[in-house]
Structure 1
């Protein structure tokens, strides 16, 4: 009966009704009532969610021992639904963002093509750049802050789902390698072309092809941005500790630079 009594106590301390708690756990009020009355017991997934919700250890829930979470247990439990929703969300937001960046790059082409007609290239640049900005704004507006917790706390998963996710990550990474290579090659070709002209090595031969080189860069960027963001999203889930360490390292470097600038 320890679990039922503990659950009732924690729920009351948090000021939650059975209905509110059931909604957070994606279960029914009747299930909460049965757990509290000792007539049932939640499965492992729900138990971890309860532990995370009340910020207590699983041992405390089951045995009434120390209320603090153990170091190994501390973290945010991520259900399969939340993880899959996060990956779908990233996919939906990266596409318009990549398109927006590509349009901003392509907005330089009118100047290259209509260099002697400012009234033409100015108008086209404004139109294309505006479309690009709108796409970026669309991506930002689609951002769901409910997934921010995934980048802040260590994550806990169902073991079987995590193993399946790791396998899928390997397959996705392998599939994206070819596409990423194409994007990198296109960008490299363009930069080499611009470099040859800037050093006057090609003697103006490549100048007529500047618009094509810009298109290559735009295509390369539109391929690489979604791939990079999707790979990072998978790594956030399957390599969570390493990912958080990198984020913390970057954050520390950023604050150190600011500190030096200020003082």
Structure 2
């Protein structure tokens, strides 16, 4: 079966007219008509788009073989994800992770200003830095999410690609684990900083003490980058399990409001403790209590449902 025959058969299988198919490809109806009559051949970009629309591999479209649809390794039902699509998705996810990690790290690092400095200017600077961190997170939250199909549907891959990807992922996982372990070690070591400060009765003003929020910010940055990369690769390797987990997440997302409320509320409590009682230290402990409370609440509500 030649390309033009496959194209006509696949389009009919979807129930699309030539005009509808042309609109999806962003080409003219005449171009589709020529392709289906064997009078022309689409460019690579259009072929990739066809493989996504029809959920078949590029091999199936291009190879001139007398095999019926589905015998090219695409018999499963699902969204066809080519190598190019997967690589673009992981690159996009990496950039998203950097934006989130930067926003969260800036919010955590901003704590050092009211903790260490007494001047009014330090509080103004603190609010400016917080505003920057929040702006980054809000901008990311409102941006258009790409590749939603890959995260919500079962995926179909070319066999040669997925086997090679699994091998590369095993090597990458070692790097991600090293990043996570490094972050954990950094956080543990940071709690030893107060013991290194000067015993003057004003230990919270010691320059070393200001390193604590900076080390936490760096550690959290590593966690988010490594965690996001591992999640993206897990989606590809263990797609069936990932989709099931996503469905469970959607089921429990009705309790997700707590995640949007807890951090602004925690920041307000921290500022109140600092400005009213001048207890920036140990007031920062509320940032450690917040995630514990969030997890406990979510688990409790889910168990009741």
TM-score using structure 1 length: 0.70
Partner of 2:128 in structure 1? 127
- 1:179-238, Cα deviation, whole Å (9 max, x unpaired): 2211111122335768x9xxxxx9979643431111110110111111101110111111
Q: Can you list the C-alpha shifts for 1:102-160, whole angstroms capped at 9, x where unaligned?
A: 11011111111113x3x12211111111121222234335x543411112111001111
Task: State the alpha-carbon separation in 1 of the partners of residues 7 and 246 from structure 2.
Answer: 39
Q: Which residue of 2 aligns with 1:109?
A: 112
What residue ranges of structure 2 are gaps of 5+ in the alignment? 42-46, 57-66, 70-74, 256-300
Corresponding position: 1:213 with 2:212: yes
Paired residue for 2:141?
Answer: 140
Partner residue in 2 for 1:90: 93
Asked if structure 1 preserves the Cα contact closer than 8 Å seen for 2:97 and 2:225, the reply is: yes
- Residue 153 of structure 1 corresponds to which residue in structure 2? 153
Asked if the contact 1:22/1:29 (under 8 Å) is kept, the reply is: no
Distance in 2, Cα, partners of 1:164 & 1:241: 19
Q: Cα 1:91–1:31, aligned 2, differ >3 Å: closer, same or farther?
A: farther
**Are the counterparts in 2 of residues 22 and 32 from structure 1 also a CA contact under 8 Å?**
no
How far does residue 6 in structure 1 lie from its aligned partner after superposition? 3.7
Alignment partners' CA distance in 2, 1:47 and 1:221:
41
Once residues 201 and 18 of structure 2 are traced to their aligned partners in structure 1, the CA distance between those partners, rounded to angstroms, is 73
How far off is 1:76 after superposition? 0.7
Residue segments in structure 1 that go unaligned for 5+ positions in a row? 54-60, 64-71, 197-201
Quote the offset at 1:32 in angstroms. 3.9
1:193 and 1:206 in contact (8 A); partners too? no
TM-score, length-scaled by structure 2: 0.62
Residue 87 of structure 1: CA displacement? 0.7
Change (3 A) 1:139 1:49: closer
CA gap 1:23/1:169 in 2 versus in 1, 3 angstroms: farther
Q: How many residues align?
A: 229
